Structure 1
Amino acid sequence: MKVACVGGGPAGLYFSILMKLQDPSHDITVYERNPVGSTYGWGVTYWAGLLDRLGAHDPESARAVAESSVRWSDGIAHVNGASTTHHGDEGFGIGRHRFLDILTERARSLGVRVEFEHEIGADDVPDADLVVAADGVNSRLRERHADRFGARIDVGRNVYTWLGTTRVFDAFTFSFVETEHGWIWCYAYGFSGDHSTCVVECAPDTWRGLGLDDMNEADGLGALEKLFADVLDGHPLIGRAQADDAVQWLNFRTLTNETWYHGNVVLLGDAAHTTHYSIGAGTTLALEDAVALAEALRDVPDLPSALARYERERRSALLSVQSAARHSAQWYENLPRYIGLAPDRMFALLGQRHSPLLPYVPPQLYYRIDRAAERLDALRRLKRWLGPRVARTLHARR
């Protein structure tokens, strides 16, 4: 099979690796429009289960990823000077540059051609048996057949910016700071021995009230460094300068598609779907897409049936994740509802933000129910059963 992967991110590269491992005779080219090493995103997060899945499909790249990752198991929340710690599951961070280098080197070692600075537009689609659109949320290949794919984008209310810092965090760290214009917060995690990712988020009124919407990069980063001085401990924030020298503030866009393939073109990763960054699942979902597509092409003899299986399996797998991401984003958009709790209780409900029941139950009551559910198995099962049903009913009434 001749395969063209448009987009040199984790999804396209890992898919090319899996296809070559299945059959070295596949003719595979990955086209990446940017130069080598120009990726943006600082570090990415994932959980231990992903390493197990990567190891089952390609132990060599899994080992390299594990060796280049940092680990943590604690979460720490700072709320206006008060702090609380939660001991949770083991998490991992790896620099996006390093992650892509590992996958690129592995793909090339297997015979995949990886061509940087090679942009594929809507009118110059490669001649191949299969064209994989792994070119992100703004996929040009998807837009070429926009009427067939049926993309829909829902824009979140809050604004956020993705930054780096030389402060190395050894736990997943949250900091919530109250200003005269409302709350602003960050979450930060280490991804190497000398850098961490720091995502800053706030409501639009807070953003404008603090003047962050009108500051150049130096002033904007300086203002944020003052707001989060306690957790940064004297370390700077690092931005990504824009052409107009402004900090890149964004509204998150949740992408869905009515169908994931048309003819011999199939969507992969962020070109097919996005989930809010607050659940840290984007990279994991992209790699799981790659696994599912490669397995479908291996097991199903004709292309249309293989692509149909891939779409069916991944749509089903994404339902719970997309629900969790939607509720997570809404938790932050409704932060004033929870921020008045004692820090340990607020942090406990932060960990419960994926629950469809939480928005409809008074926070203090939900906290007490949740604590009781940890001790009573019957109550825990009732809570799990009741949540989606109450959410659907109240949503329909609204």
Structure 2
Amino acid sequence: MRVKVVCVGGGPAGLYLAILLKRQNPAHDITVHERDPEGSTYGWGVTYRRCFLDKLREHDAATARAIEDASVGYSDGVAHVGGLTIRHHGDEGFGIGRHRLLDLLADRARRLGVRLQFESELTEPPAGADLVVAADGVRSALRTRHAAAFDTRIVPGRNPYMWLGTTRIFDAFTFAFTETEHGWIWVYGYRYSADHSTCVVECSPETFAGLGLDRASQADGVALLEKLFADVLDGHPLIGRPGAGWQTFRTLTNRTWHHGNLVLLGDAAHTTHYSVGAGTTLALEDAMCLARAVHEHASLPGALAAYERRRQAELLPVQSAARYSAQWYENLPRYIHLPPHRMFALLGQRHSPLLPYIPPQLYYGLDRAVGRFQALRRLKRWLGPRVASTLHARSSAHRG
């Protein structure tokens, strides 16, 4: 089936989908429209796991090789709590600059014959296209125009956060928690290149207002954050981007992901809290699934229905984990005064649907016991998703 595809949004999801479709059938007519100039992007670095790199290899070895070569790796996690430091050895992870990732994907797409049109904004599905892909992010203009058809829901988070960069090179995925007279404030830090790292700063609304960050200019706010995290930054500056200030995370869902020949991809379809570090991975997995569906089905309606079914099912456990991860940070006082090694252990368990309902010290002891006995590990794996599903169903019924 030869199709004419118009992809609105030149982020990782849109570019990777164009690559996969063009590889499947060079006769496909594919154009990617990006509203911003070439080379401009938001954000600093993105992270992914070794298992995701294996998926990339399965779909396009050349793209996987280019991304791996441009990435930096880490395997440890470090938590700084007050004056104490805890280190834990974990799974292998990788970081890559978002700008570098987009350059690699754009170059690969061009080499395959995809047309890339920058400074080209589409707010309506263009005539003549067989398939229109809305890959234009959480504020998708195409999705917004048809929000009723998609049944879009946006739930705002509680805590303010801000993305920053730094020249401090972290040798592990780093968490740093600092106590102030107005409450706790914390940073997630990870390197994404040989000379830069990402820092995401977060705090409660009360701490945000108490520190005056709600009233400070970006320069003054960044200067205050440099003082608060002076130890972990080790003399290095925090770097902001013009116009990129504090915000609260918005969890976006859509009941359906396609309407006519218009289909949603990546953040236009769904968002997951940044604390699970899966946004870019999930967006590229959307592209894999949609490309596979187009290849396997004789008609586009059948392909879009299969894509929606498969991805919504695959995302359920990830979305559940992201919700509980966000809630862990929103309820930080419940955990922060535990002994540091226990706090760090429960930080690693923040995705658990059981943790909010069990006293932290008891949960820690039970989790240690589960680790010793195979039968208990099986029970935990069986029970966790069922609790999450029940709680999600109750929440959905309450909303309805």
Q: TM-score range by the shorter chain?
A: over 0.9
Alignment partners' CA distance in 1, 2:309 and 2:379: 30
Aligned pairs for 1:50-129 within 5 A: 50-122=52-124, 125=126, 127-129=128-130
Alignment partners' CA distance in 2, 1:388 and 1:131: 35
> How many pairs are equivalent?
393
Contact 2:320–2:388, Cα closer than 8 Å, also in 1: no
| Paired position in structure 2 for 1:201 | 202
| Paired position in structure 2 for 1:139 | 140
TM-score by length of 2: 0.96
| Paired position in structure 1 for 2:293 | 296
Alignment partners' CA distance in 2, 1:387 and 1:82: 31
Aligned pairs for 1:248-267 within 5 A: 248-267=245-264
Alignment partners' CA distance in 1, 2:41 and 2:7: 17
Q: Tell whether 2:363 aligns with 1:361.
A: no
- The percent of aligned pairs where both chains have the same amino acid is 70
* Secondary structure in structure 2 of the residue aligned to 1:186: strand
Alignment partners' CA distance in 2, 1:24 and 1:305: 22
Query: Unmatched 5+ residue regions in structure 2?
Result: none
* Secondary structure in structure 1 of the residue aligned to 2:94: strand
Aligned pairs for 1:1-398 within 5 A: 1-122=3-124, 125=126, 127-242=128-243, 248-389=245-386
Alignment partners' CA distance in 2, 1:39 and 1:83: 34
**Distance apart, 1:372 and its partner CA:** 1.1
| Per-residue deviation, residues 103-122 of structure 1 (Å, max 9, x unmatched) | 00000000000111111123
**Distance apart, 1:59 and its partner CA:** 0.5
**Distance apart, 1:146 and its partner CA:** 1.3
Alignment partners' CA distance in 2, 1:21 and 1:201: 41
For the structure 1 residues 390 and 129, does the alpha-carbon distance in structure 2 shift closer, same or farther, using more than 3 Å as the test? closer
| Per-residue deviation, residues 319-359 of structure 1 (Å, max 9, x unmatched) | 00000000000000000000011111100000000100000
What one-letter code is carried by the residue in structure 1 that aligns with 2:223? G
| Per-residue deviation, residues 152-187 of structure 1 (Å, max 9, x unmatched) | 001000010000000011100000001110000000
What one-letter code is carried by the residue in structure 2 that aligns with 1:20? K
Alignment partners' CA distance in 1, 2:197 and 2:339: 28
**Distance apart, 1:375 and its partner CA:** 0.8
**Distance apart, 1:125 and its partner CA:** 2.9
For the structure 1 residues 20 and 394, does the alpha-carbon distance in structure 2 shift closer, same or farther, using more than 3 Å as the test? closer
Alignment partners' CA distance in 1, 2:262 and 2:386: 37
Runs of 4+ in structure 1 deviating by more than 4 angstroms, as ranges, are: 388-398
Contact 2:169–2:195, Cα closer than 8 Å, also in 1: yes
Contact 2:204–2:330, Cα closer than 8 Å, also in 1: yes
* Secondary structure in structure 2 of the residue aligned to 1:213: coil
**Distance apart, 1:379 and its partner CA:** 1.7
Give the stretch that moved more between structures: 98-107 or 387-396.
387-396
Alignment partners' CA distance in 1, 2:80 and 2:21: 45
| Per-residue deviation, residues 109-141 of structure 1 (Å, max 9, x unmatched) | 00000111111123x635311000000011111
| Per-residue deviation, residues 279-307 of structure 1 (Å, max 9, x unmatched) | 00000100000010001001100111110
What one-letter code is carried by the residue in structure 1 that aligns with 2:291? A
**Distance apart, 1:381 and its partner CA:** 2.0
Contact 1:176–1:185, Cα closer than 8 Å, also in 2: yes
What one-letter code is carried by the residue in structure 2 that aligns with 1:297? V
For the structure 1 residues 390 and 285, does the alpha-carbon distance in structure 2 shift closer, same or farther, using more than 3 Å as the test? closer
**Distance apart, 1:384 and its partner CA:** 2.8
**Distance apart, 1:390 and its partner CA:** 5.1
TM-score by length of 1: 0.96
* Secondary structure in structure 2 of the residue aligned to 1:128: coil
Contact 1:72–1:90, Cα closer than 8 Å, also in 2: yes
**Distance apart, 1:144 and its partner CA:** 1.6
For the structure 1 residues 55 and 392, does the alpha-carbon distance in structure 2 shift closer, same or farther, using more than 3 Å as the test? closer
* Secondary structure in structure 2 of the residue aligned to 1:214: coil
**Distance apart, 1:389 and its partner CA:** 4.7
